[in-house]
Amino acid sequence: MKLKKETLKMLIAVNLLAVAIILDVLTNAIPGLNLSMPFGGKFFGISMLPLILIGLLIGFKYGLISTLIFAIYNFGIDYIIYLETLRITLETWTGIPWTFWMIGLLVLLDYVIPFMSFGLSGLFKDGLKSKKTFMIAVISVSIIRLISSTLSGVILWGSSIRYAASEVALGNETQNLATRIFSFVGENLWLYSFGYNFIYIFTTGLSVILIGLLIFKRLQVLSQNLLERN
C-alpha cells in the first residue's frame, strides 16, 4: 500500500511538472502572455501555479524536488547554450570578470532559490482547504523569490544597470523600463533591484492567485480525492 501511495504522488508530481513546463513554453510563444521586463522576468509566469500545487497536494519533499528540476530546466533554456556569450557580453559592458563564484551565485539566486521557493508551498498544511491559506501560500513563496532576486540584482547585475544608464545618458541607447526605474529611485541599487523584481513577481503572483481562485473548487475536489486514496 505504501508503494502505491508513493507511486501516486510521483505521478502527480511528474504530471504537474510537465504542465508547468508546457505553460512556460506557451507563455513564451503567445503574444501578450510573453511580456517580460527588459533584463528578464516574465509578467505572467503562470507556470508557477502547477509548481505550487505540487507542494500543496502532495507535500514539501515532492514540491522541492520538482521545483529543483524546473529550475534546472529554466537555467538550461536560458544559459547553457548562451552562457559563454553572456559572460563575454557582461564583461565587455562592465569591465568586471565573471568568475566561477559569480556564475554559482547566478544559479543560486536567479534559479535555485526563486524556483524552489514554489515548493515551499508544501509547508502550508491543508493549503487547499481555504482560499485564504492558498493566497497566503502564494504570497509567501513570492516574497522568498523577491528577496533572492533582489539580492541577485544588487550583487550580480548592479554593474549592468549602471552601464545601461550611462549609455542612455550618453545618448547611445533609449530609455527602457529598467533604466527609468533606476533613474526614479535616484540610482539607489537596492531600491532599483527591489522595484524591478517586485513588478513582475507581483503580476505573476496576482495572476496565479486569480487563476487559482477561479478553479479552486476543482482543486479542492482533487485534493480530497488524493486524501481518500491515502
In CATH, what number is assigned to the domain containing residue 196? 1.10.1760.20
Q: What DSSP state is assigned to residue 78?
A: I
First-to-final CA distance of the chain: 9
Average pLDDT score over residue span 187-202: 97
Dig out the grid coordinates for 7 from the structure. Answer: 507511486
Angle, vertex CA 149, rays to CA 158 and CA 127, nearest 5: 170
Provide the percentage of residues in the chain whose pLDDT is more than 70.
90
pLDDT at 35: 92
pLDDT at 93: 62
Note if the pTM is more than 0.95.
no
| pLDDT tens string 129-141 | 899 999 999 999 9
What is the total count of domains within the chain? Answer: 1
Rounded Cα distance between 201 and 52, Å, is 14
Longest dimension (CA), the chain: 69
Q: Which domain holds residue 147?
A: 2-229
